[in-house]
A and B are shown apart, each in its own frame.
Chain A
């Protein structure tokens, strides 16, 4: 079974530029999570989707971050404009309905210069 796929794996941009991350969850998983992980910290939830619906986006900085999951499968997370403090690893995870176990993708390591 294929795992959670994320791209790109690495991204280096200059501040004020836009950036987008893509996630393809495990087939059949209706719950999708985007997390941000800073060095030496645990993952912090940005947004959680149940199918197409964003059921928890309370931690998403909506002034510059946006996300979508139009068909309830793939998801895109966007930052516009990026700031120096956005440098981190962005992790996508998915889980099946009613299940607690989250399966993480390899993450996108973002560096903002």
Chain B
């Protein structure tokens, strides 16, 4: 089992739709969680951190479920500009240090 798993997609959704992605992680000692956005041939950029209580930033909502070891990202009222790859990132503790593990990413295409 991979340490961080994501459905690669693509998710093709019409403008205005709501779409959700999940990401599962294997290490129960994982400490922090993030969603990054990566546009085609560009570098990843932080979209939002994910907190235990869940957090929301405009049309984006992130949730953490420690019991089931997954995080989610919900995008409401999708825009064409939301088309990108969404990378799940987990900070895993290992051998007294830590490591950021990236998922393979989920591709989203918002269609006009």
Contact = CB atoms under 8 A, between A and B. Distances in A.
Interface of A: 33, 35, 40-45, 48, 55-56, 91, 100-107
A44 B102 CA distance: 7
For the complex, would chain B's binding face be called helix, strand, loop or mixed by DSSP majority?
strand
Instruction: Give 3 closest A-B pairs by Cβ, nearest first.
Output: A42-B102, A104-B43, A43-B102
Interface stretch (B44-52, B55-63, B64-72, B75-83): B44-52
B97 to A, nearest CB: 6
Contacts of A102: 46, 100
B89 to A, nearest CB: 8
A44 B97 CA distance: 17
Chain B contact patch, size range: 10 to 19
Given A42-B87, A91-B43, 15 more contacts: A33-B100, A40-B104, A42-B103, A42-B104, A42-B105, A43-B44, A43-B102, A55-B97, A56-B97, A56-B99, A100-B49, A101-B34, A101-B46, A104-B43, A105-B43
B91 interface: yes
18 contacts: A35-B102, A40-B104, A42-B87, A42-B102, A42-B105, A43-B44, A43-B102, A44-B102, A45-B99, A56-B97, A56-B99, A100-B91, A101-B46, A102-B100, A103-B46, A104-B43, A104-B45, A105-B43
A106 B41 CA distance: 9
B1 interface: no
A104 B34 contact: no
B43 A100 contact: no
Contacts of A103: 46
A40 B8 contact: yes
A31 B49 CA distance: 19
